[in-house]
Amino acid sequence: MATLHTVNKNGQPLELCLRVVNKGDSLLLIEDGVYALFEVPDILAELIKDVSLYVLEADVLARGVSNRNELEIELVDYQGFVSLTETNEKTLSWF
Amino acid sequence: MNYALAVYGATGNSQAGQTALSFAKAVLASGHSISRIFFYQDGVQNASSLSNPPQDEVNLPSEWQALVQQHGIDAVVCIAAALRRGIVDAGEAERYQLPANNLAEGFELSGLGQLLESLIETDRLITFGA
Give the full edge-to-edge strand order of the sheet including A74-76.
A74-76, A52-56, A26-29, A3-7, A90-94
Of A8, A82, A93, the CB nearest to B26: A82
* Residue A33 C-beta-side C-alpha neighbours within 13 Å: 32
**pLDDT above 90 for B14:** yes
* C-alpha closest to that of B19 among A73, A58, A74, A83: A58
When pLDDT is cut at 50, 70 and 90, the band that residue A72 belongs to is confident
Range B47-76 average pLDDT: 97
What's the number of CA atoms in the CB half-sphere (13 Å) around residue B51?
22
Instruction: Please state, in angstroms and as integers, the Cα–Cα distance from residue B12 to each residue in B1, B54, B123, following that order.
Output: 31, 12, 30
Indicate which of A29, A82, A87, A89 best probes the interface with B, i.e. most B CBs within 10 Å of its own CB: A82
Query: What's the CATH code of the domain at B45?
Result: 3.40.1260.10
Pick from B34, B129, B26: which is nearest to B74 by CA? B34
**Mean pLDDT for all residues in chain B:** 97
The end-to-end CA distance of chain A, in Å, is 22
Could you report the per-residue pLDDT of A20-70, keeping only the tens digit for each?
Answer: 999 999 999 999 999 999 889 899 999 999 999 999 999 999 998 876 667
Q: Active-site residue B78, yes or no?
A: yes
- Could you tell me the fold of the domain covering A3-94? Hypothetical Protein Ychn; Chain: A, (3.40.1260)
Local confidence band at B125 (pLDDT 50, 70, 90 cut-offs):
very high
Say how many CB pairs under 8 Å bridge A and B: 48
> Taking the CA atoms of chain B, what radius of gyration do you get in angstroms?
14
- CB-based contact B30 A91, cutoff 8 Å: no
| Model ipTM value | 0.95
Q: Measured between alpha carbons, how far is A94 from A4 in angstroms, rounded to an integer?
A: 11
- Provide mean pLDDT across the span B30-46: 98
Mutate to test the interface with B, among A3, A78, A79, A92 (most CBs of B within 10 A): A78
pTM over 0.80: yes
Query: Which residue in B78, B103, B104, B115 is the catalytic one?
Result: B78
pLDDT digits (tens, 9 = 90+) for B74-105: 999 999 999 999 999 999 999 999 999 999 99
Q: Percent of chain B at pLDDT above 70?
A: 100
- Average pLDDT for residues B105-130, to the nearest whole number? 97
Terminal alpha carbon distance of chain B:
26
Which chain B residue's Cα is nearest to A85?
B124
Q: B30 and A79 in contact by Cβ < 8 A?
A: yes
pLDDT, position A67:
63
B36 in helix, strand or coil? strand
Q: Which chain B residues are Cβ-neighbours of A83 within 8 angstroms?
A: 30
Range of the domain at B111: 2-128
Pick the range with the lowest mean pLDDT from A43-47, B28-32, B45-49, B117-121.
A43-47
Count of domains in chain B?
1
Instruction: Report, as an integer, the average pLDDT of B36-45.
Output: 98
